[in-house]
């Protein structure tokens, strides 16, 4: 953030319309605080979920075959797995946000046209990861327990 702070103009483009033309502006300070706040909120929500799932009653955790996977003999292993996947999803989400913010800041510094192709590649990759992450969790927890 420090790298960009000194390079950004006092008023920055903060929003683009469907035609990729700028249609929203804010001060550099508010923009950077908003970005920092967004990054912090994302981290708190993901990491808070990890902490919370170990403290809430199991009926509040929504996974297939919950009674099996969260039985006392498997609960720690299941929660460890969920925690690891949440950390990975958090990291991917923060990387996506970082890439988008870099694109916006680069636009403001260089004045180059906003690269919509890059945005769509990032967006599709993030949505694909989200879908694969979701399906992998469902498949893992839907499989029939071995007797």
- Distance (Å, whole) CA 69 – CA 48: 21
- Distance (Å, whole) CA 72 – CA 74: 6
Q: Tens digits of per-residue pLDDT, 8-51?
A: 999 999 898 888 888 999 999 999 999 999 999 999 999 999 99
pTM, 2 dp: 0.86
Q: Report strand pairing: 11-16 vs 22-27.
A: antiparallel
List the chain domain ranges.
Answer: 2-142
Quick one: average pLDDT of 119-132? 97
């Amino acid at each position: 953030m420090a790298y960009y702070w000194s390079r950004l103009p006092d008023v920055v483009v903060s929003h683009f319309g469907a035609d990729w033309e700028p249609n929203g502006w804010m001060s550099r300070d508010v923009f950077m605080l908003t970005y920092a706040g967004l990054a912090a909120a994302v981290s708190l929500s993901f990491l808070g979920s990890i902490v919370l799932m170990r403290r809430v009653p199991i009926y509040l955790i929504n996974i297939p075959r919950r009674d099996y996977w969260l039985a006392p003999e498997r609960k720690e292993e299941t929660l460890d797995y969920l925690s690891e996947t949440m950390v990975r999803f958090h990291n991917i989400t923060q990387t996506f946000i970082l890439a988008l913010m870099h694109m916006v800041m680069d636009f403001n510094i260089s004045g180059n046209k906003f690269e919509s192709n890059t945005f769509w590649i990032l967006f599709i990759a993030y949505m694909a990861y989200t879908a694969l992450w979701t399906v992998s969790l469902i498949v893992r927890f839907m499989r029939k327990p071995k007797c």
